[in-house]
Amino acid sequence: MNRLWLRSRIVIVVMVLGLIAAYLPLPTFANTPTPAPTTLQAAFDQAATEFDVPSELLLALSYNLSRWEHHSGQPSTSGGYGVMHLTDIDLGHWQTSKGLDWATPFKQPAEFQTLAQAARLIDQPTSALINDPVQNIRGGAALLAEYSRSINPKLPTNLADWYGAVVLYSGSKERSTAFGFADRVYATLQQGANRQLENGEQLSLAPSAVTLNRQSAANLQLLQGDDFPLDCPATLDCEVVPAAYALNDPDDRGDYGNYDLANRPVDGLDYRYILIHDTEITYTQTINVFQNPLTKASTHYVVRASDGHIAQMVENKHVPWHAGNWDVNGHAIGLEHEGYAIEGASWYSEAMYQASARYHSIKQACTGTQVRFGIGRIIWI
Model confidence pLDDT, tens digit, residues 50-60: 999 999 999 99
> Is residue 165 within 8 Å of 181, Cβ to Cβ?
no
pTM of the predicted structure, to 2 decimals: 0.68
Query: Which residues are 335's β-sheet partners?
Result: 276, 301
Residue 248 predicted with pLDDT over 90:
no
pLDDT at 145: 97
Q: At 5, is the pLDDT very low, low, confident or very high (cuts 50, 70, 90)?
A: very low
H/E stretch holding 106: none
3-state secondary structure of 105: coil
Distance CA 327, CA 96 (A): 14
Distance CA 303, CA 305 (A): 6
3-state secondary structure of 277: strand
Residue 308 predicted with pLDDT over 60:
yes
Residue 76 CB-half CA count within 13 A: 28
**Closest to 328 (Cα-Cα) out of 254, 272, 373:** 272
Give the Å distances, CA to CA, from 131 to 55, 63, 73, 119, 284.
21, 19, 5, 12, 24
* C-alpha R_g of the chain: 27
Residue 221 predicted with pLDDT over 70:
yes
Q: At 124, is the pLDDT very low, low, confident or very high (cuts 50, 70, 90)?
A: very high
pLDDT averaged over every residue in the chain: 79
Give the residue-averaged pLDDT of 363-375: 44
**In sequence order, what DSSP letters do the residues of 134-163 get, joined into one string?**
HHHHHHHHHHHHHHHHHH-SSPPSSGGGGH
How many residues in the chain? 381
The answer to whether the Cα torsion of 97, 99, 105, 106 is positive or negative is negative
pLDDT at 86: 92
Quick one: what percent of the chain has pLDDT higher than 70? 74
Which contacts (CB < 8 Å, 24+ apart) does range 322-325 have? 322/97, 322/275, 322/277, 322/297, 322/298, 323/97, 323/99, 323/275, 323/379, 323/381, 324/96, 324/97, 324/98, 324/99, 325/99
Query: Which residues are 333's β-sheet partners?
Result: 274
The one-character DSSP state at 128 is: H
H/E stretch holding 276: strand 273-278
Instruction: For strands 332-337 and 301-303, give the pairing.
Output: parallel
Q: At 23, is the pLDDT very low, low, confident or very high (cuts 50, 70, 90)?
A: very low
Q: At 174, is the pLDDT very low, low, confident or very high (cuts 50, 70, 90)?
A: confident
Greatest Cα-to-Cα distance within the chain, rounded to the nearest angstrom: 122
| Helices H / strands E in the chain, number of each | 12, 14
Distance CA 313, CA 309 (A): 13
The one-character DSSP state at 263 is: -
- Residue of 363 and 356 predicted with greater confidence: 356
What's the pLDDT tens digit per position in 323-352? Answer: 888 888 999 999 888 876 666 555 566 666
Residue 362 predicted with pLDDT over 50:
no
